[in-house]
Amino acid sequence: MRGAFTSLAAADLDADGVPDFAGADRFTGNARIAVLDRSAAVRSEGDLPAGLLPSGAVVGRFDEGESPDLAVACSGSSQVAIFLNDGRGTFSEAGRPATIARPRCLAAGGLDGDACADLVVLSDGGLVLNYGLGGGTFGSPVAQPADQGGRYVDIAVAYAGGEGVMDLVALDAIGAAARSTDRDRRRWRHSWSRWNSRN
């Protein structure tokens, strides 16, 4: 894969047990897909029109299929492009859900406990959550309050709290903060749990 990549994600895109790659190329405005064979050689490669200045790419199951789909944040066009996987590593555009202006970073995971991955979208202006509705569609963006007025530089979705509920983890200059949902889902706890990266 060649290009001026701002992000790269690895996942088995064609269900052959071999990790493949998807990335965002900021110069062309494309998402690039590379499907590998068992020798790790590129078997097929393709471009998907994402938008102006794509700056983040993430994989997740955004529809009811078993194969990972792709979301690309485009800060120049203030869009997130969603591409659905047909299970063989071929993608088609599903839409561009409303989101925060100038998105630059994405994370995906099941934050509300259903079968479709949700999107966490980060920009210089804040952090929003788009809940997955199925079929590659998403609900309206839900703004997330910052911890101590921090400006986040990166985000992730993971099981950080040990309670069997996925957490939202955000990183800023001080350290990291995690915020998890209550067990009835879609209701966020009001406080962030913070730990210092220097500890």
Predicted pLDDT of residue 196: 47
pTM listed for this prediction: 0.85
Query: Which residues are registered as beta bridge partners of 150?
Result: none
Tens of pLDDT, residues 138-175: 999 988 766 555 578 888 887 766 666 777 877 776 76
pLDDT tens figures, 119-143 = 999 988 788 889 999 899 999 998 8
| pLDDT average per 10 residues of sequence, the chain (199 residues) | 75 93 90 92 92 92 90 94 92 92 92 84 87 92 68 80 72 68 49 49
